[in-house]
C-alpha cells in the first residue's frame, strides 16, 4: 500500500467536492434572479448563501466520501487502479453535478406551477398523466432546449473537474515520517482525519449532529423574505424533506369531493359549502365569571396527564400541579386530548381553531399573509384583550416569527431575546425557570390590561441534560411515598434524569402560575400541555403492567383557575384543546358574542371528542393510528384492548375542513399591514 496516493487523492477529492456547493450557489442565484420580486440587502444575501453552503453539505459532503472510497483508497491499495483514478473522479463528480442540475431544473419548473420550491405535492407526480407531463415540459418549458443544454453542462463540469485534478498537491513525504511505526501511525491519523472531515462537513461545520443546519435555524433576516428562505434550501434537501412529509388526502381532493367528506359535520340545512367555517355559527350565552384583567394560558412542553393520575401520584413528579389543583376554584379534566401528537400541530390547532392535521400550516407562506378571523387571539382582541406570545426558544423554530403575528398576536417574545446572553439553555430554548422568571418580571412591570399572555415552555424534552439536582430535584424526597421505585431508579441515571425533567418543568410552570395568581388576583389561568410522552418508568413496576394504556400515552393535562370558577360551570368530563377557545368565550364574553367554530365549549357535557389521531367517549378511548380502543379508565392495571374505530367520518371531515383552507387561503382575510 502506498498511502501517498490516498493523501494526494484526498486533497483533490476535497477540491472536487467544492464544485457541488459552487453549482448550488449558482443555481440559487439564477432562481432568485428569475423569481424575486424585489431587491435584497447584501447582508441578507450573504447570510442566505452562507447558511445554504453549510446546510447543503448534508448532501454535498457525500461526494467527498464517494471520491475517497471509490478513487483515493483503491489507488493507495491497487497499483493497477492508479491510472484510472482521475477518470473515476471526473465521472463521479460530473454525475453528481448532473443530478444537481436535474434537481435545479425540476425546482424551476415546479415553482412556475406551484409558486413554491419542492413540497410534498411533488410525490403526486407518480400518479399523474405522463403524456401531459411531457407536453408541458416540451411546449411550456422549452424542454428541447433544456435537453440540449445537458451535453454543454456536462462538458463544463468535466472541464472543471479535470482542471482541479491538474492542480499541484502537497507531497506526503514533506511531513510524513519515512517509515516504520511512525509512518503507520501517521497514515492512520490522516485516514481518520479524512473521515472526521467528512462528518464535520456533513454536519455543517460541526461534529455535533444536533447542531446541523435545518429550516428552523435559518437566520431571521433571511426568513423575513419567504422566497429567499425557500431558496436557502438546496434542491436535494428540499426534495428529501418533501419526500419524507406525508401529503394529506384533504389537500388532494377537489371541492366536490371535499363537500362529500364535510357533510357529516356541517350543520343541518347549511347548503352548499363555499366557505365552510362560516357555517359553524355560535353565540355565547353570557359571562359566567367576572371579566379577568389578565388571562394566562400556560402551555407546558410534554405536560402530560398520566403522572397526575391517582395511581402514580405517589411518585411525586407533579407535586406542584397537585398543589395548584387543590384550590376549590381550579377545575381539572382527567381525560383531555391534545390537538396534535407533536408540539407544533398542537399549538397551531389551538391558535387557529382548526386542526393542523400535520399539514404544518405554520410553515405555509399563505398563512403568513392570511389570518384566521376566529383564531384565539383574534377573538380575544374582539373582547378587548391585548394578546402576547412568549416562547422559551427561538421564534424561527417552525417559522413562528411569521405565523404568530399573522394569526393575530399583538406582541411576541423569544426566550433567547428577553433573557441574558449567558442564560442556561438547551438546544430548544432557555431553561424554564429562567425564562418564566424573566417573563414574570416583564409582565409585572407592564401596566396594560386587559391582556392575555400565552406562555410556552421547552425544557421537558430529551435529552434531559439539565442539572436537576441543582434546581431542587431530590429523588429520595420526591419519591418518598415510593421508596422502592426511588431505590431502583437511583442506579438508572438516564431514567432518573427523565423523572427530574418532569418534576422540574412542573415546578417552574406552577411557580409562575402561583406568582401570577398572587400578582393579579382576578386572573384566569389555564395550564395544559402540548402533548403527552412516555413519561412514567413502567419498567420499574410503577404499574401492574409494563406499558401505558392508550389513555396514558395520549392525554395531556388540563387545569383552569379563576376565583369565581366552580366545577359545575364546566360539566364536560372529556375534552380536547379545540374546546378551550369556545370555553373561554362562554366564561367571559357578553351574551350574543358571535363566532364560528365546529367545536363545543366545556360548559356543556360532551358525548364524544374527535381529533385527527384519537377519539374519546365517556367510557372508551381509541387511536386511529393503531385502530385499537380501550375502556376510558384511570387504573394501574392492564386493560382489555380491541380492534375498534369510531367517528371516522367526523375525523375525516375535520381534516377536510383544514384542507379546504389550504387549497383556498384566499377565503381568509389578509393580514393587516402596519
The stretch 1-20 carries a mean pLDDT of 93
Please report the pLDDT score of residue 143 as a whole number: 87
DSSP run (H or E) holding 454: strand 451-456
The stretch 486-505 carries a mean pLDDT of 95
pLDDT confidence band for 546 (50 / 70 / 90): confident
Please report the pLDDT score of residue 124 as a whole number: 57
pLDDT tens for 106-160 read 999 888 776 678 876 676 565 555 666 687 788 778 889 999 999 999 999 999 9
pLDDT tens for 506-516 read 999 999 999 99
Residue 580: partners with Cβ closer than 8 Å, 6 or more residues away: 297, 350, 376, 526, 528
Highest mean pLDDT: which range of 33-47, 351-365, 606-620: 606-620
Q: Which three cell numbers stand for residue 6?
A: 490516498
Contact (Cβ atoms closer than 8 angstroms) between residue 592 and residue 635: no
Please report the pLDDT score of residue 132 as a whole number: 63
pLDDT tens for 513-536 read 999 999 999 999 999 999 998 789
Q: Which segments within 273-369 are labelled E, that is strand?
A: 281-283, 294-300, 330-332, 336-337
The stretch 259-277 carries a mean pLDDT of 91
pLDDT at 17 over 60: yes
Contact (Cβ atoms closer than 8 angstroms) between residue 487 and residue 329: no
Residue, of 19 and 220, whose pLDDT is higher: 19
* CA separation for the pair 468, 462 (Å, rounded): 13
pLDDT tens for 388-436 read 999 999 998 888 999 999 999 999 999 999 999 999 999 889 999 999 9
Q: How wide is the angle at C-alpha 620 spanned by C-alphas 615 and 623, nearest 5°?
A: 40
Please report the pLDDT score of residue 130 as a whole number: 65
pLDDT confidence band for 273 (50 / 70 / 90): confident
pLDDT tens for 322-370 read 999 999 999 999 999 999 988 999 999 999 999 999 899 998 889 999 9
User: Over the chain, what is the mean pLDDT?
Assistant: 93
pLDDT confidence band for 63 (50 / 70 / 90): very high
pLDDT confidence band for 203 (50 / 70 / 90): very high
CATH 3.10.129.10 fits 283-597, yes or no: no
Q: What is the torsional sign of CA 501, 504, 508, 509?
A: positive
pLDDT at 218 over 80: yes
pLDDT at 455 over 90: yes
pLDDT at 290 over 80: yes
Highest mean pLDDT: which range of 95-99, 170-174, 185-189, 267-271: 95-99
* CA separation for the pair 429, 438 (Å, rounded): 14
3-state secondary structure of 394: coil
Nearest to 614 by CA among 577, 663, 571, 560: 577
Please report the pLDDT score of residue 72 as a whole number: 95
Please report the pLDDT score of residue 126 as a whole number: 58
Q: Which residues of 265-279 are buried (b: 16+ CB within 10 A; e: fewer)?
A: bbeeeeeebeebbeb
Q: Residue 205 region, left (φ>0) first, then alpha (ψ -120 to 50), else beta?
A: left
Please report the pLDDT score of residue 173 as a whole number: 82
* Side-chain half-sphere CA neighbours of 652 within 13 A: 15
* CA separation for the pair 634, 552 (Å, rounded): 9
pLDDT at 561 over 80: yes
Residue 560: partners with Cβ closer than 8 Å, 6 or more residues away: 330, 331, 332, 524, 525, 526, 527, 570, 583
pLDDT confidence band for 211 (50 / 70 / 90): confident
Percent of all residues in the chain with a pLDDT value above 90, rounded to a whole number: 79
pLDDT at 84 over 60: yes
pLDDT at 674 over 80: no
CATH 3.40.720.10 residue ranges for the chain: 283-597
Amino acid at each position: 500500500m502506498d498511502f501517498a496516493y490516498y493523501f494526494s487523492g484526498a486533497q483533490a477529492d476535497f477540491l472536487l467536492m467544492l464544485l457541488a456547493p459552487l453549482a448550488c450557489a449558482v443555481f440559487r442565484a439564477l432562481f432568485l434572479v428569475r423569481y424575486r420580486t424585489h431587491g435584497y440587502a447584501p447582508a441578507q444575501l450573504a447570510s442566505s448563501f452562507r447558511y445554504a453552503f453549510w446546510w447543503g453539505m448534508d448532501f454535498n459532503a457525500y461526494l467527498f466520501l464517494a471520491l475517497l472510497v471509490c478513487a483515493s483508497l483503491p489507488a493507495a491499495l491497487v497499483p493497477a487502479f492508479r491510472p484510472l483514478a482521475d477518470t473515476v473522479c471526473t465521472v463521479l463528480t460530473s454525475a453528481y453535478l448532473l443530478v444537481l442540475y436535474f434537481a435545479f431544473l425540476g425546482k424551476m419548473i415546479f415553482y412556475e406551477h406551484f409558486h413554491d420550491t419542492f413540497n410534498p405535492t411533488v410525490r403526486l407526480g407518480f400518479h399523474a398523466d405522463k403524456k401531459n407531463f411531457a407536453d408541458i415540459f416540451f411546449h411550456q418549458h422549452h424542454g428541447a432546449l433544456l435537453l440540449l443544454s445537458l451535453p454543454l453542462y456536462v462538458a463544463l463540469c468535466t472541464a472543471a473537474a479535470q482542471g482541479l485534478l491538474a492542480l499541484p498537491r502537497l507531497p506526503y513525504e514533506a511531513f510524513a515520517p519515512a517509515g516504520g511505526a511512525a509512518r503507520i501511525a501517521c497514515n492512520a491519523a490522516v485516514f481518520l482525519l479524512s473521515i472526521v472531515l467528512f462528518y464535520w462537513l456533513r454536519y455543517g461545520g460541526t461534529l455535533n449532529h444536533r447542531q446541523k443546519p435545518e429550516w428552523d435555524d435559518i437566520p431571521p433576516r433571511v426568513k423575513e423574505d419567504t422566497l429567499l428562505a425557500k431558496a436557502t434550501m438546496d434542491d436535494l434537501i428540499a426534495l428529501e424533506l418533501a419526500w419524507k412529509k406525508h401529503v394529506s388526502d384533504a389537500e388532494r381532493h377537489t371541492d366536490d369531493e371535499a363537500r362529500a367528506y364535510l357533510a357529516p359535520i356541517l350543520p343541518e340545512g347549511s347548503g352548499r359549502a363555499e366557505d365552510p367555517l362560516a357555517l359553524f355559527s355560535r353565540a355565547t350565552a353570557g359571562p359566567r365569571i367576572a371579566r379577568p384583567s389578565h388571562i394566562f394560558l400556560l402551555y407546558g412542553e410534554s405536560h402530560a396527564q398520566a403522572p397526575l393520575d391517582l395511581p402514580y401520584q405517589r411518585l411525586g413528579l407533579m407535586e406542584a400541579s397537585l398543589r395548584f389543583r387543590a384550590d376549590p376554584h381550579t377545575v381539572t379534566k382527567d381525560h383531555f386530548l391534545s390537538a396534535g401528537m407533536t408540539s407544533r400541530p398542537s399549538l397551531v390547532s389551538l391558535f387557529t381553531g382548526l386542526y393542523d392535521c400535520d399539514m404544518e400550516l405554520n410553515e405555509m407562506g399563505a398563512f403568513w399573509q392570511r389570518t384566521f378571523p376566529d383564531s384565539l387571539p383574534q377573538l380575544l382582541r374582539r373582547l378587548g384583550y391585548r394578546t402576547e406570545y412568549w416562547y422559551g426558544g427561538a421564534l424561527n423554530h417552525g417559522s413562528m416569527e411569521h405565523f404568530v403575528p399573522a394569526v393575530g398576536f399583538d406582541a411576541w417574545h423569544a426566550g433567547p431575546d428577553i433573557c441574558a446572553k449567558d442564560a442556561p439553555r438547551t438546544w430548544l430554548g432557555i431553561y424554564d425557570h429562567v425564562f418564566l422568571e424573566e417573563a414574570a418580571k416583564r409582565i409585572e412591570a407592564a401596566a396594560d390590561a386587559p391582556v392575555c399572555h400565552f406562555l410556552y415552555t421547552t425544557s421537558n424534552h430529551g435529552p434531559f441534560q439539565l442539572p436537576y439536582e441543582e434546581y431542587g430535584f431530590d429523588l429520595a424526597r420526591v419519591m418518598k411515598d415510593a421508596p422502592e421505585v426511588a431505590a431502583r431508579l437511583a442506579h438508572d441515571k438516564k431514567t432518573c434524569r427523565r423523572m427530574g425533567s418532569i418534576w422540574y418543568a412542573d415546578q417552574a410552570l406552577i411557580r409562575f402560575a402561583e406568582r401570577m395568581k398572587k400578582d393579579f388576583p382576578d386572573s384566569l389561568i389555564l395550564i395544559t400541555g402540548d402533548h403527552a410522552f412516555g413519561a412514567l418508568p413502567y419498567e420499574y413496576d410503577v404499574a401492574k403492567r409494563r406499558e401505558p394504556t392508550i389513555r396514558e400515552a395520549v392525554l395531556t393535562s388540563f387545569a383552569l383557575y379563576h376565583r369565581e370558577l366552580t366545577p359545575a360551570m364546566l360539566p364536560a368530563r372529556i375534552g380536547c384543546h379545540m374546546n378551550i377557545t369556545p370555553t373561554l368565550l362562554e366564561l367571559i364574553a357578553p351574551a350574543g358574542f358571535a363566532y364560528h367554530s365546529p367545536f363545543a365549549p366545556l360548559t356543556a357535557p360532551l358525548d364524544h371528542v374527535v381529533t385527527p389521531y384519537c377519539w374519546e367517549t365517556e367510557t372508551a378511548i381509541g387511536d386511529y393510528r393503531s385502530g385499537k380502543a380501550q375502556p376510558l379508565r384511570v387504573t394501574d392495571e392492564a386493560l382489555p384492548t380491541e380492534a375498534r374505530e369510531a367517528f371516522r367520518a367526523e375525523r375525516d371531515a375535520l381534516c377536510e375542513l383544514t384542507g379546504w383552507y389550504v387549497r383556498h387561503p384566499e377565503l381568509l382575510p389578509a393580514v393587516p399591514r402596519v
